[in-house]
Amino acid sequence: MKIGIVCYPTFGGSGVVATELGINLAKKGNDVHFITYERPARLNVFMGNVFFHEVLPFKYSLFKYTPYETTLAGKLVDVVLNEKLDLLHVHYAIPHAAVAFMAKSILKTKNVNIPVITTLHGTDITLVGKDPALSTVVEFSINNSDGVSAVSNFLKEATLNNFNITTEIDVVYNFIDFDKFRRTDKNHFKKAIAPDGEKILTHISNFRSVKRAEDAVYIFQKIYEKMPSKLLMIGDGPQRSKLEKVCRDIGLCDEIRFLGKQGVIEELLSISDLFLLPSSNESFGLAALEAMALEVPVVSTNVGGIPEVNIDGETGYLSNVGDVEDMANNAIKILSSPEVHQKFRENALAKAQEFNVDRVVPHYEQLYRKALSKVATELQES
């Protein structure tokens, strides 16, 4: 099959899922065309059947904003026609689902009926998408997709509750490629970060307010009072300088390391003892799943789709949003006993295996087949 993938090319979860999906579809022999404004951050392999089409900004003095939607639609039409794509899979509804609808409509005038699959990832529904400024467009473009998936049961329900949805939504979870995400011995690295055997706690996010990364710092402060420990803050984003100030204010700059955006997070997770995910909203929590795949238990909030991944009392613990005290106590409970820690590690890995790429990617392929036959039936009927 020849598949076009549209996504945000950043380290954010939707871009990661889209890129890993594309790589795995290519491994299965499909031609995969990424169409986006930058090479996706996780697209760091060379494969003969993976292609990247950059959507370049179009500048003109009249434009206050670059008309990205228009240039993306133009590029989609061009790539579908010239590369003879069989389907388009767009990740994150805004603006990708609406742009795909535009491209599909243009292509229909050229006698090409391309199936469009939309994958909903999170804030495209729960935060940004339900804003009245965008909601009618989001609803329309979901209803006019040929296949729709959501990354958790929670997100599917949230979509049905927030919008008037007339199309079927399949739940296709985030997944893990265990060829890549396997714990490796990085003891030399661990020694550099924690020379005296301190516990290593990790938080990974894009430091947007929904991630409540400052809670990770305050949770760490409480853990540090009880046991020698270090905190790795991985990623970057709008809250970073505020977070660095918090670390200075509480006098823990030497114990908290800001590592910025990292490409090979599996190595950093390989030296981690516990993962902190204090988000106020999370439709799935890919970062938690990646930690669990590397045998790192997760202390998180209990919102959104997180309980579908992190099982309370088994793979980690769940607390109410903002309950820093409870999250710190839970972390201490896990880290204080090597036996308890080991049990949580094993459970985390076992749960992560349920989201193995080999189990999840076939669900996407099934969605593709369904969309292709829907469009074929439409053609026969027209």
Give the interface with ligand GMT as residue ranges (CB under 6 A).
8, 12-15, 17, 121-124, 151, 174, 210, 281-286
Whether residue 55 contacts residue 71, with contact meaning beta carbons closer than 8 Å, is answered with yes
Question: What's the min distance (Å) between Cβ of 17 and ligand GMT?
Answer: 5
Nearer to ligand GMT, 113 or 135 (CB): 135
CA-nearest of 129, 164, 156, 181 to 355 is: 181
Nearer to ligand GMT, 173 or 368 (CB): 173
Q: Identity (one letter) of the amino acid at 343?
A: K
* Nearest residue (CB) to ligand GMT, 79 versus 176: 176
Nearer to ligand GMT, 149 or 229 (CB): 149
Complex with ligand GMT: residue 8 or 224, whichever CB lies closer: 8
Residue number, 124 or 273, with CB nearest to ligand GMT:
124
Nearest distance from C-beta of residue 373 to ligand GMT, angstroms: 26
Pair 185, 175: CB distance under 8 Å: no
The tokens describing 186, both together, are 């990085």
Tell the smallest beta-carbon distance from residue 238 to ligand GMT (Å). Answer: 13
Place of tokens 């026969």: 380
Q: Which is nearer to ligand GMT, 8 or 207 (CB)?
A: 8
